[in-house]
Amino acid sequence: MATRLFKPDAFEQNGQIVGFSADLGQSILKQLQREAVLKTYANVPEVLNAIRLEQADLGIAAIAITGQREQEFDFSLPIFSGGLQIMVLAEVEQTKQVEQEVLRRLLNPNLLRLFSIIALLMLVPVHILWYSERNNKDGLIENSSYIPGIFQALWWSLLALVGQANAMPKKPIGRIVALFWVFVGIIFVSYFTAIITSELTVQEIQGNIRELSDLQNHRVALLADSESLNYLQKHNVEQVTAFSQLEQAYEALLTNQVDAIVAPRPLLLYYASHERQGKVQVVGAPFRDQFYSIVMPKDSSYRRPINQAILTLKENGTYREIYRKWFGTNPQD
């Protein structure tokens, strides 16, 4: 029996080969009352070549059924459907990313320098307001002394900066300074409103990704596959980055380099239920359906008993248990 090491299909854990195909293969062998020697290969082409050269009787390695392969090999009944599906961050993670991005922008060195400049500039209107209003009984400054009068002027300037000042200075010079400072406050508040609004808009857009058509104008990570890339481009999904390893795509999603991942449904289900539970979610219905099966040489004597074993495992619930163990959901859910 030939396979390839690829999570969650078959991989080494504590010195043993485990995974969906590994468990299913063992259950099929039990039904057939047979034993097998497991040989591992680097990829699907190597598994197919082992079958071709009669170095293996069976290949169980998430091998897709295609018209070209059907001409050369025999396939069992499909063992699972691996249509493409979409993964996005879980809602709680999207909120965390917004909070982190807002904090990152607020702590930007350029913005901190701007804060420092505004703080220094504020000393000018604060002292002008104190000086011009300190002897006015109906003015902003209730105490003519520098302290606490200067703190009253400072408090009014802070309120004006965020648009919360109610009273206005009485003296002409104070009114001119107040007008200037209110104008500065409008720019200040607008800038911060823009930062928060943009990040909330990003979160809302990401949260609205539910199907293939929603991926247009979004950054999408794809497991390197020319056929899948062509499929996305035909559906006007242009901002696609292909990754050779799915772990790289996951990392890009978690670090906000992309907005979504498109990959075979079983791989995403395994990752969402085992590797990053609660941090990501699989959304929408599968598309571009692809069926995976056990491959054998043409006219193999194993085809009929293997098909019978697969049907038995589906009828007695064993297949469902294996599927749920590795993908966290029932078949076709």
Q: What are phi and psi of 50, to 5 degrees?
A: -65, -40
- Are 107 and 133 part of one and the same domain? yes
Q: Facing residues of 64 across strands? A: 292
CA distances from 217 to 42, 112, 220, 259 (A): 36, 33, 9, 10
Average pLDDT over residues 231-242: 89
- Are 40 and 122 part of one and the same domain? no
- Are 177 and 249 part of one and the same domain? no
Contact between 8 and 327 (Cβ < 8 Å)? yes
In a domain, 47, yes or no: yes
Query: DSSP code of 271?
Result: I
Q: 235 vs 82, which has greater pLDDT?
A: 235
- Are 110 and 77 part of one and the same domain? no
Measured CA to CA, the distance from residue 23 to residue 27 in angstroms comes to 6
- In percent, the amount of the chain with pLDDT more than 70 equals 87
- Are 71 and 18 part of one and the same domain? yes
Measured CA to CA, the distance from residue 149 to residue 201 in angstroms comes to 43
- Are 155 and 104 part of one and the same domain? yes
Measured CA to CA, the distance from residue 247 to residue 144 in angstroms comes to 67
Which amino acid is located at 72 in the chain?
Answer: E
In a domain, 333, yes or no: no
In a domain, 77, yes or no: yes
Residue 49 has a pLDDT of: 93
Average pLDDT over residues 56-71: 88
Q: Where are the beta strands (DSSP E) in 189-306?
A: 220-223, 240-243, 260-264, 280-287, 291-297
Contact between 219 and 258 (Cβ < 8 Å)? yes
**Taking all residues of the chain, what is their mean pLDDT, rounded to a whole number?**
82
Number of Cβ within a 10 Å radius of residue 313:
20
Here the CATH number for the domain that contains residue 263 is 3.40.190.10
In a domain, 140, yes or no: yes
**Dihedral sign of CA atoms 92, 94, 96, 98 in order:** negative
Residue 269 has a pLDDT of: 86
Written as six digits, the tokens of 47 are 């598994």
Here the CATH number for the domain that contains residue 170 is 1.10.287.70
- If you write DSSP's letter for every residue of 174-221 in order, what string do you get? HHHHHHHHHHHHHHHHHHHHHHHHHHHHHHHHHHT--SGGGGTTS-EE
In a domain, 227, yes or no: yes
Q: What are phi and psi of 62, to 5 degrees?
A: 50, 55
Contact between 62 and 9 (Cβ < 8 Å)? yes
- Are 236 and 283 part of one and the same domain? yes
In a domain, 130, yes or no: yes
User: Kind and range of the H or E element at 329?
Assistant: none
pTM passes above 0.85: no
Last residue of a domain, one of 178, 206, 234: 206
Written as six digits, the tokens of 275 are 């590797």
- Are 220 and 270 part of one and the same domain? yes
- Are 107 and 202 part of one and the same domain? yes
Residue 320 has a pLDDT of: 93
Contact between 58 and 294 (Cβ < 8 Å)? yes
- Are 282 and 296 part of one and the same domain? no
- Are 104 and 197 part of one and the same domain? yes
Lowest mean pLDDT among 24-38, 89-103, 120-134, 164-178: 89-103
Q: Look at strands 80-81 and 291-297 and give their pairing.
A: antiparallel
In a domain, 115, yes or no: yes
Contact between 139 and 128 (Cβ < 8 Å)? no
Domain membership of residue 310 as a residue range: 2-82+291-327
- Are 104 and 202 part of one and the same domain? yes
Q: From the centroid of its chain, how far is CA 173?
A: 55
What is the count of structural domains for the chain?
3
Please write the tens of the pLDDT for every residue from 51-63: 999 999 999 987 8
In a domain, 332, yes or no: no
Average pLDDT over residues 113-132: 79
